[in-house]
Structure 1
């Protein structure tokens, strides 16, 4: 019995396979969309780490992604320059889609260079300001707003310490803190505790002085967005250093905005997650790059909160909670 052509000439099969792969590879590579992600803050900032995790979970398998960090938590004065650098990268990279995270990226990158000026779809995330401020939605822009779960965090703290009736706020002076104050002013009448004051220090000394004042006025302290607070030598403090310093100085129940800040030494929080913001923005961008018109991509806001409780702080404050309060909460310890 005669053998097949492939048995007699195995090189024929090899050649066919090589040619087939050669034809297939460019097609497969061409299917990968190019995405530029511009973060307002630093690569090691807790929030941006969560955002990137959410984006990667959706896009990493199907897209080629380049990341750009504007570093404005520590160097806000360079925001405009960094926005220009992000645009230069956009011109060089020519992405199929853009994700721009947090407000500084809107002000100094999307609005001056991309909004209604290019056809590239742009999805924002982490935006604290009202969308109308930025002219959103636009012909090529939509996204997800960022809102803090403040009232829910106060209520959680009251479950642990029922005597809580008043709350104060300490946040390093920054655009994020100013947007947060707008949310507080808008919602405070619905909070389960009376808001006494919102303080925005610029330095370590100011933060400690303000915290000392609030300690005598409030049962509960909200401390968050502290990255970049200047120490006695003028150097920017990390979020962990500043949050822990304020929480220790207050010496009573504290709440915050992120799981990382609960681990930094606050009592508890109903936290927003960067993973939600990142994944929703990434899913919206995929739809836009695949042809969904922006009229069918309305602006949305974050909805999901996660209850997080620091067992180290709870023990330190002598809190013995009802087991029902712990149900559904994630227990963490203060990280050193």
Structure 2
């Protein structure tokens, strides 16, 4: 069945125009969201009516989330969508049960949470893509890119998303060995701690690999924009900074890596939604993990940290500048 579904993902939608609602955990100006919005629009936009609704949970204080949820519930009631696509954990945790209780099929993506945290994952009207960083593939790739590749610092925020991703792969361990390289895993929501780890990384490690860094706050509890943080890290780090996500790679950011793609996640979710819009029951569409990563590199970052790619890897990579 899984192979059949994967094959069907590449079949063009055949159904008549229907109503699709996409509920974002975050906001359209955030690069992760803007990339998957493009993918969903490109796949479903010519055939169906799509409405995008933002929970805006990165910028809104948590006490305000309930008011935003109520507003979106009213919008959904007015739209009466044929299907809902939910982007990331907050949208799923805040909206999935309400949607299936109203018999609206749900396709999710970007969800790192478990069935304990998200019981609605087991509902027959729910399917989608469980997002997981490519830990093993990333280390294997970097061992081909770097001459010094014995020790890596994996640096993340201490969000539910990152805790789930790390625990899913490493369990409770915060040190590990992969392909002969030693990994130390640090999760923190404190700006000073995060940047201090970057400052001192060269004394112990050959490279830093960042996960998400989107729930970090400063000493006054002010939210620190992810772009601002990775920009500071770029200038302060004496060793190259790679990333598990392509949204953290670019000019004055991370240099590259084998990454999860927001566009690919959105594309796969849209294709799963197409199956359901064509009449396939959601419980016949298996939930899957992120299907494929891609090599992404910043040319200016490569120059900054003196990184050279082999002709083979370069031919397989996307360059963001």
So what's the TM-score if we normalise by structure 1? 0.81
CA-atom RMSD in angstroms: 2.5
- Distance change (3 Å), C-alpha of 1:212 and 1:304: same
Runs of 5+ in structure 2 lacking a partner? Answer: 1-14
Mapping for residues 281-292 of structure 1, pairs under 5 Å: 281-292=269-280
Q: Is the Cα–Cα contact under 8 Å of residues 74 and 228 in structure 1 kept in the other structure? A: no
Residue among 130, 140, 145 paired with 2:125: 140
Runs of 5+ in structure 1 lacking a partner? Answer: 1-29
Mapping for residues 135-284 of structure 1, pairs under 5 Å: 135=119, 136-186=121-171, 188-190=176-178, 192-203=180-191, 205-231=192-218, 235-264=222-251, 265-284=253-272
| Match of residue 32 from structure 2 | 47
- Distance change (3 Å), C-alpha of 1:76 and 1:172: farther
| Match of residue 299 from structure 1 | 287
- Distance change (3 Å), C-alpha of 1:197 and 1:257: closer
| Match of residue 87 from structure 1 | 73
SS of the residue corresponding to residue 98 of structure 1 reads strand
Q: Is the Cα–Cα contact under 8 Å of residues 27 and 33 in structure 2 kept in the other structure? A: yes
Q: Is the Cα–Cα contact under 8 Å of residues 26 and 56 in structure 2 kept in the other structure? A: yes
CA–CA separation in structure 1 for the residues paired with 2:247 and 2:185:
24
Q: CA deviation at 1:87?
A: 1.6
Higher helix share: 1
SS of the residue corresponding to residue 50 of structure 1 reads helix
So what's the TM-score if we normalise by structure 2? 0.84
Q: Is residue 114 of structure 2 the alignment partner of residue 130 of structure 1?
A: yes
SS of the residue corresponding to residue 122 of structure 2 reads coil
CA–CA separation in structure 2 for the residues paired with 1:91 and 1:59:
21
| Match of residue 12 from structure 2 | none
CA–CA separation in structure 2 for the residues paired with 1:273 and 1:68:
21
What is the number of equivalent residue pairs in this alignment? 301
SS of the residue corresponding to residue 42 of structure 1 reads coil
CA–CA separation in structure 2 for the residues paired with 1:79 and 1:178:
22
Q: CA deviation at 1:189?
A: 4.5
